[in-house]
Structure 1
Amino acid sequence: MWFKHLHLYRLHGSAGIPAADLEAALAEQVARSPGGQEARRVGWCPPAGRAGTALLHELQGQRLMTMLRHERLLPAGVVREELEERGADIEAREGRKLRRQEKQELKEQIYEELLPRAFIRSQKVDLWWDTRRNLIAVNTSSRKRAEEALDLLRETLGSLKVTPLATQTLPMRAMTQWLAEEGSRPASLQLGDQVELKAKGDDGVLRARQVDLDSDEIQQLLAAGRQASRLGVEIEGRLAYVLHDDLTLKSLRFSDALIDEAGEIEDDGDAIVRLEADFMLMAQALAEEVEQLIAWLGGEANAAPQESE
């Protein structure tokens, strides 16, 4: 249940849909396998998997939903090989070279023929909705997948105005300062052991793992003008993650104390009770950390709400 990545979004306007109405709306967009000519399809599935049927779990204003994404796997190489074989047969039979347009039409025909027989890959993407803070977060490493989950939620609700969470101080500026000036670091923040440094010119990106971020080498790179675009941080007693310059939190690791606290909750072997207990503890910890992170970065920036069609 514990999230590994977090793409954060601010919800604008009113989206105060009751839980019962939301679950009914989710049921209208339940996940189904792609049709014969569909390359992919997305829908909602139970967060508890086979252990439950509920599409929504809500506890104290914290909502958990799961998008299920089906995608047919048709490698480009398979299509290319079939195209070459069929094209060669046609050219030999008709004694001429195929025109570019003919090859393109043949390629499209092959794709349509092979697609229904392609394997289907499934991927689950969890979405956390904090109704008290008007915050929505998506558990995926990919911004594209996060936006896909929001598009599905928007289609489900009919309207959804969200913008990526933004702060007054750019994360890159703050991370660079935390690296360069130990005294600028918040009291409960500790540096991790990985960093990504970008140069202002064309010197590329430098990535380092399992290094001392207070070392002279890192300080020399900062003095040369490099800036931190990713930074591993640890929040004492709670969690660790890699902060990105777009305010994404990746490689989340929750503290042993929090995991042990979850383990102390009796579930009597009930998978739903376990899921909801873990989710509540995780949501509370993440909500507090997001609020603290916003404060460290000078407060939230005002962003005009946007709504995709």
Structure 2
Amino acid sequence: MWFKNLSLLRFTEPFDLDPVEFAQKLDARRFRPCGSLEPISYGWCAPLGKDTFPLAHVANGFVMVCAQKEEKIVPASVVNEILSEQVAEIEDRQGRPVRRKEREALRDEVLQDLLPRAFSHSRRTYAYIDPKGGWLVADCASAKKTEEIASLLRQCLESLPVVPPTTRERPSAIMTRWVMGNDLPPDITLESECELRSPEEDGGIVRCRRHDLNAPEIQNHIEAGKEVIKLAVTWNDRLSFVIDETLSIKKLRFLDLVQDEAAQVETSDPVERFDADFAVMSLEIAAFLPRLIELFGGEDLQTKQPVV
């Protein structure tokens, strides 16, 4: 269950809810499958997979949760085809055009008729709370999915005082200096992927993959005013990832040094395997996150205002 992304939210107040009480609060939004006329269902499921397990799984003080979303799949092309047939029938029978408001009402009727027969798609999103470090860490590739997790937690806890992390220096400015060959920390190794953007509104974007970042063409883009907004790096020979200007991390890989630590726990039991991997992963991320903030000048506490 190794995370492939790190989407980070910072607690502005201590998270001191007892894990048992926390799991009980999550039960108010336990996942249930979509009803026949429901297009979507979203709620909490047990991270360990079975309903008999708790909704909050604790290891070494870290609290894992898992949100499950089920969506009915109704292709827009099918809806439009049926809608067009119904509109044409009304216009032919009544000799009048179907106006926009009536068309939208017909579209809703078509959707309601198709939903009971629609296929559904389900996905799970894992996240965990680090009470000691003050982090909510989600395995999400987009800010929208992270906000969905935070919103679901808010509905169960009544409030969730978290904000995106902010640093004293702009990550794009620091990453640009690294690619220029300046101030590269000893525990950071540049890989062969980056994205550059011109600072002006709607500025041009250059994406480089499998490319030597020391090449003259990359340096020319920087000299022309572009900044690095995404950069692939390796940290301390333990983690490899792509970081962007918002401190979101994608394409995360736990390298051999970390995987070897997890492999020391030899077990064929899936629950024990999950527990061991989660313990190693969360401890590794807990060691990395303070360094991540430090790399970009430290935390900007003035902007740390809670979002309740």
One-letter code of the match for 2:102? Answer: E
Identity across the alignment (%): 34
Contact preservation (8 Å) 1:15, 1:160: no
Deviates more, 1:79-88 or 1:110-119: 110-119
Q: By how many angstroms is 1:145 displaced?
A: 0.7
One-letter code of the match for 2:193? Answer: Q
Q: By how many angstroms is 1:50 displaced?
A: 4.3
Distance 1:28 1:104 in 2: 34
What is the match of residue 240 of structure 1?
240
Contact preservation (8 Å) 2:14, 2:134: no
What is the match of residue 207 of structure 2?
207
What is the match of residue 15 of structure 1?
15
Q: What does 1:274-289 correspond to in 2, within 5 Å?
A: 274-289=273-288
Q: What does 1:243-258 correspond to in 2, within 5 Å?
A: 243-258=243-258
- Give the gaps of 5 or more residues in structure 2: none
What is the match of residue 188 of structure 1?
187
What is the match of residue 42 of structure 2?
42
- Give the gaps of 5 or more residues in structure 1: none
Distance 1:295 1:224 in 2: 28
Contact preservation (8 Å) 1:73, 1:120: yes
Q: TM-score, normalised by structure 2?
A: 0.95
| Residue correspondences, number | 306
What is the match of residue 299 of structure 1?
298
CA deviation vs aligned residue, 1:3-61 (integer Å, no higher than 9, x gap):
00011111122431101111111222211112333321211112122496232211221
Deviates more, 1:236-245 or 1:114-123: 114-123
Q: By how many angstroms is 1:236 displaced?
A: 2.6
Distance 2:283 2:23 in 1: 22
SS in 2 for 1:96: coil
What is the match of residue 112 of structure 2?
112
What is the match of residue 78 of structure 1?
78
Q: TM-score, normalised by structure 1?
A: 0.94
What is the match of residue 64 of structure 1?
64
Contact preservation (8 Å) 2:232, 2:240: yes
Contact preservation (8 Å) 1:195, 1:209: yes
SS in 1 for 2:262: helix
Q: By how many angstroms is 1:260 displaced?
A: 2.0
One-letter code of the match for 2:191? Answer: G
Distance 2:235 2:254 in 1: 10
- Where do 4+ consecutive residues of structure 1 move more than 3 Å? none
SS in 2 for 1:49: coil
What is the match of residue 146 of structure 2?
146
SS in 1 for 2:29: coil
SS in 1 for 2:78: helix
Backbone CA RMSD of aligned residues: 1.6
SS in 2 for 1:28: helix
What is the match of residue 131 of structure 1?
131
